[in-house]
């Protein structure tokens, strides 16, 4: 694969255009990579998608919008055919700003045009004296209030329900997404999160781990999220090599959700926001969650679990698998990890008692840490032990003499 000369995404050898930014990156005649922002192939000389037949001329347009007092400014530039510009007129006329946007159009006469429909990029705010639409939160109700005069498109407003907190990290500033039950709240969160990721970081969301991690931090995550994300992705997302982005149906669904979120007369189901409930329940597990973990695919690169013999071996492997590989929780009770291993791999040669006992052995203190709630997680040294096994290190040599002398059965 080659990297896109414009956005850096990987482009399959069979494509002439980037799936992420839709720009032509390879010559359709000689199939060589193009030079960025040039109108012809510098290898064979063929122009980029030469104008032929009765193709419509391209018009350049500029849309400007200003607002007094708040210093809000927006400028959009693009190129559209006559037909496409007519179709887009309703979008511009439906702007919620108190000022009518000014749009200037000028025809461009050249022999080059793209073979793919050219989409308008996300509007950007002016640098001087500009300010993004503000989301105001009431401490009592924690419902969002958005100024209609400052709002732009629903996708932009939905993106502002999240704030960036580092590269690839988003924090929700909305507590109620107006879902009728917990499952609907979780699915709405997922769709809104992907849209916000695309908007704030100007790239696709690389994997579902990003949204799962954010949901764990705010206490919204549970085992049902794996199935919910699959459903959301099938309906509202596009999966490309680099990750996920919103599709057309997803954009339409966003508009519906934004309308409800901004309606202060509607209240949704907020189970995780009830008084007395912990904000982060990543260590809580039950039989239903174990069942969902068993169905998750695990690629072990040829590692054979039958090589494990001691309770310490199984404990290290089990905790690494659940907390590091699958990332289903940050800390887990020993009996839950044992149940997972027993049900997924069946042939476990140690008992639940010896498995749990291994976690409390003094010689294993460098491998495991315990929380005040009785949950365990791996130390960096414990994680390294398992990674060494996966790379071929002898398992028998990674535990101390005490295990070999009969402390563990």
* In a shared domain, residues 139 and 260: yes
Domain boundary among 250, 273, 296: 273
For residues 77 and 147, state if they share a domain.
no
Transcribe 89-104 into DSSP letters: HHHHHT--SSSPPEEE
**Quick check: is 351 in a domain?**
yes
Range of the domain at 202: 135-273
Is 112 within a domain? Answer: yes
Enumerate residues 6+ apart whose C-beta is below 8 A from 366.
Answer: 379, 381, 382
- Under 8 Å between Cβ of 352 and 368: no
Verdict on whether the full-model pTM lies above 0.95? no
Do residues 76 and 23 both lie within one domain? Answer: no
219 plus 302 within the same structural domain: no
End position of a domain, from candidates 221, 245, 273: 273
Distance CA 236, CA 254 (A): 9
Cβ contact 21:242 at 8 Å? no
Is residue 301 domain-resident? yes
In this structure, are 3 and 75 located in the same domain? no
Residues 267 and 191 in one domain: yes
The DSSP output letter for 280 is -
Same domain, 387 and 295: yes
Strands (E), 331-375: 368-370
**Measured CA angle at 281 (ends 280, 283), to 5 deg:** 120
Give the number of other Cβ atoms within 10 Å of residue 170's Cβ.
Answer: 25
pLDDT in tens, the chain (409 residues): 788 988 988 888 888 889 888 889 899 888 899 998 888 888 888 887 643 334 445 666 676 666 655 455 566 666 666 555 555 655 555 444 444 444 444 444 444 434 344 333 443 433 333 333 333 344 433 444 434 334 468 888 888 899 888 777 898 888 788 888 888 999 999 999 999 999 999 999 999 999 998 888 888 888 888 889 999 999 999 998 889 999 999 999 999 999 988 888 888 876 554 444 444 444 444 556 787 788 787 777 778 888 888 899 999 999 999 998 888 889 999 999 998 888 888 778 888 889 999 998 888 889 999 988 889 999 999 999 999 888 888 886 544 444 433 444 4
Q: Which residue, 101, 125, 149, sits at the end of a domain?
A: 125
Indicate whether 402 and 300 sit together in one domain. yes
Q: Which residue has the tokens 């946007």?
A: 101
Where in 32-168 does DSSP place strands (E)?
A: 58-67, 72-81, 102-108, 124-125, 135-137, 144-146, 162-164
Total number of domains in the chain: 4
Taking residue 289's Cβ as centre, other Cβ atoms within 10 Å add up to 19
- Tell me whether residue 2 is in a domain: yes
């Amino acid at each position: 694969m080659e990297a896109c000369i414009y956005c850096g995404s990987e482009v399959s050898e069979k494509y002439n255009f980037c799936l992420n930014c839709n720009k032509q990156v390879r010559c359709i005649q000689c199939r060589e990579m193009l030079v960025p922002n040039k109108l012809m192939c510098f290898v064979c000389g063929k122009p980029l998608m030469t104008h032929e037949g009765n193709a419509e001329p391209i018009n350049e347009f500029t849309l400007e919008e200003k607002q007094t007092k708040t210093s809000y400014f927006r400028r959009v530039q693009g190129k559209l055919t006559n037909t496409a510009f007519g179709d887009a007129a309703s979008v511009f006329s439906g702007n919620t700003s108190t000022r009518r946007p000014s749009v200037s159009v000028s025809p461009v006469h050249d022999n080059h045009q793209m073979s793919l429909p050219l989409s308008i990029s996300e509007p950007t705010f002016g640098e001087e004296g500009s300010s993004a639409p503000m989301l105001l939160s009431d401490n009592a109700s924690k419902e969002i209030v958005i100024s209609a005069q400052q709002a732009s498109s629903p996708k932009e407003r939905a993106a502002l329900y999240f704030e960036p907190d580092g590269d690839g990290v988003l924090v929700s500033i909305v507590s109620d997404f107006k879902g009728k039950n917990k499952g609907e709240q979780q699915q709405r969160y997922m769709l809104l999160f992907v849209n916000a990721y695309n908007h704030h970081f100007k790239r696709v969301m690389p994997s579902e781990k990003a949204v799962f991690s954010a949901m764990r931090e705010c206490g919204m995550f549970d085992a049902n999220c794996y199935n919910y994300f699959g459903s959301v992705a099938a309906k509202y997302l596009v999966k490309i090599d680099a990750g996920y982005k919103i599709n057309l149906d997803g954009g339409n669904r966003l508009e519906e959700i934004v309308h409800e979120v901004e309606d202060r007369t509607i209240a949704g189901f907020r189970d995780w926001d009830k008084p007395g409930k912990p904000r982060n329940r990543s260590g809580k597990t039950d039989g239903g969650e174990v069942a969902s973990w068993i169905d998750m695919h695990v690629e072990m690169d040829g590692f054979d679990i039958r090589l494990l013999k001691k309770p310490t071996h199984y404990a290290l492997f089990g905790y690494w698998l659940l907390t590091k590989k699958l990332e289903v929780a940050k800390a887990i009770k020993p009996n839950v990890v044992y149940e997972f291993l027993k049900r997924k791999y069946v042939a476990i040669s140690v008992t639940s008692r010896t498995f749990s006992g291994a976690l409390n052995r003094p010689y294993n203190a460098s491998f495991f840490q315990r929380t005040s709630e009785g949950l365990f997680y791996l130390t960096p040294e414990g994680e390294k032990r398992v990674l060494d096994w996966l790379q071929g290190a002898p398992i028998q040599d990674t535990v101390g003499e005490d295990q070999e002398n009969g402390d563990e059965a």
